[in-house]
Chains A and B, each alone.
Chain A
Amino acid sequence: MFLSADEWQIVDLSLKVSGCAVVFTLPPAFALAYLLARGRFPGKILLDALVHLPLVLPPVVTGWLLLIGFGQRGPIGSRLHEWFGLTLIFRWTGAALAAGVMALPLMVRAMRLSIEAVDRRLEGAARTLGASGWRVFWTITVPLALPGVLAGLVLGFARSIGEFGATITFVSNIPGETETLPIAIYAALQVPGSDAIVTRLAVTSVILSLGALVLSEVLSRRAGAGQGGHVL
């Protein structure tokens, strides 16, 4: 297409980072969404606020917290390195961690809404017909909440693609390793005569983000329609 090989590498890396970010954030995000939608426990408001924190915190603060926590010298980072040989700082995996943390609140929000919209009488009916708790969860709750879960995934993916502040603070800019779309655009902006590159990367960003938003909207509409009665 209209991108050079280097630019494709940037897009490719962005997709890899964001893809990994949402896939690995999905299980904790769903668990948190379920807990917040169904659970009644002390400290629920606090948990809710904590989950939403990356949404309102300055991204550079999130990046700094990741840096001091998951850096080579950080309390978590040093143990990950010692026990599993896993390094996050200056690696694409670190970029994925930053993107995942930033995407978490959006994913939890979308999933929580769809779990709350599941008609609990259907679950009750399944139980009276003899289904176990797990079976009800996998055959009633999850399928009914699925459009919202998918919408959350896509929304989280879109957020991850655009992640800049936490990423540059935590893993800096390393071409081919942590140079995602926004970071490449920021770096290119500082080179004179790079307007053509900036334009191409910016257009790619707009296309990716727009596509993801439209997809997520379609999915959440479907989730809304499912609620309207003609389930099963």
Chain B
Amino acid sequence: MARIVGIDLGTTNSLVAYMADGRPRVIPDRHDRTMVPSVVAMTDNGLIVGDPAKEHLTRNPERTVYSVKRFMGKSLEDVQGELAYFPYHLTEQGGVIRIKLGEKTYSPPQISAMILKELKRRAEAHLGESITKAVITVPAYFNDSQRQATKDAGMIAGLDVLRIINEPTAASLAYGLQQKMQGTIAVYDLGGGTFDISILKLKNGIFEVLATNGDTHLGGDDFDRQIANLFVKEISEQHGLDLNAYPDHMQAVRLEAERAKIRLSDELKTTAILDLPESKGRYSRDLTRDQLESLTMELVERTLGPCRLALNDAGLTSSDLDEVVLVGGATRMPLVRQHVEALFGKQPHCELNPDEVVALGAAVQADILGGGTTDLLLLDVTPLSLGIETMGAVMSSLIRRNTTIPASAKEMFTTYVDGQTGVDIHILQGERELVKDNRSLARFRLKVPPLPAGVPRIEVTFLIDANGILNVSARDVRTGATQSLAVKPSYGLSDDEVERMIGESFKFAADDLKARQLIEARTEAEAILMATEKALKQGSHLVGEEDLSSIRASMAAVEAAKSGEDHKTIRAKMADLEKATHHLAEVLMDTSLKAALENKKLSELTSGK
């Protein structure tokens, strides 16, 4: 079976991991960086992803997308309150948010797919094989629409998503495997944009989730925003500047706020420095840990309610817990650790890198699915109750929250009017009584044979699969015939749209490839020019004038090609330059060899001593 990788598709950073010799490993890039910033930038040369895209946050804020996970499976209305914080432009089409980048619009799954493709490329380069199958993690408290959007992203990226698993449970797999953890544990996962709490029982290789709760709109981003708001306010007071009019500076503020927050996890005091627009000089401010904590106290306290609810749903009190585990970059904050420790009365674990542990767990789950690991099994739950709309706009629950998945419920439908040929069904998710207070998932129309009222009997099965995603099927009890259903998601892409995006993705892939090849060629050209420059300094006196002028001409040609748009021309000119420097390289090699033989340093030889 082809290799399956585990992917943590995070709000701020994403990672890919795989299992080798019974141990999960995160895949680094050439510079040994394990995290790919979840940032996508539209440049004049096409779309770029990750670290290079991060540079565009301040340079090109309106065309650089970050924190796209916040928009997965959401409508514009859902995020109305925070639109002002994002410099890029959002619209909506068919209940799905669209992000405007230049002339085109992209759905959040398409943007996420670009990040996934980057991870896929990274894994392929590292493992030297084609990667087509993956396990992707999502916050445990993600609803059906958000899970489906993540699965769509995988498909658009050309990945067969074998399983969607919950981030805190993935983390528990890594801890269970690597730290041999057992007993009842709580996983507190505060990421870039989401918060989850899961209570699990680990026993003989079974990881049984007892309850989960969370907030899909609470994370490190919100902490940064508190600090950034303070900076913006002070800049307005001290310099009479409204930074909101300068998207590039707003991004700089956000990034400086994040850096200050991170530094304050280790230090008690730090200085934030920002260059101001309109030649207003600089803003510089000391921020103490105490100040940070009073700014973010309320946010940290917001995580405690879900923790109590989860414990209650699990039928436990904090004294029943054997271990508490911290996951997510934001749990590095001392304030968070203090609160967790106070609530659960236990010092929390953080032996495994909180940024990497989810990806590691995803790799373990991938190995379980691939048949490599056979002694571990994850039994997860559905975070939200599933139901249908009944008379009086009331939700009738079919599958309660915290039910182990896969879970199914059957419901019998009939007609109220003679000859009625359809029954409309509205599927909901949530804990509230009224339809309007819950999340609408989908609607469909059940086809019914025209018969006297009450005679038709259609049995509808609602099945939540191991991904936490709903599947609906219907069967006519009288005839036994099954019925295919056209379920229309309330906040998701239709199947046709996903198909179209997969097609487009291949087209973009060609553009992306071109953009990447160009960037790579330019980088290498830069490197070869610098190396030649250096060689000339060392050995220009060792070769003839003819060689030198040929080298100079070739260098100019590479320089010219580098500012062009064609990677092939750059490569061709680089090859010419290599030919031109052939003799020089030989001479230098000889000289350095001789130097080595005479036990002298090359610098001594070439500096004319």
B and A form one assembly: no
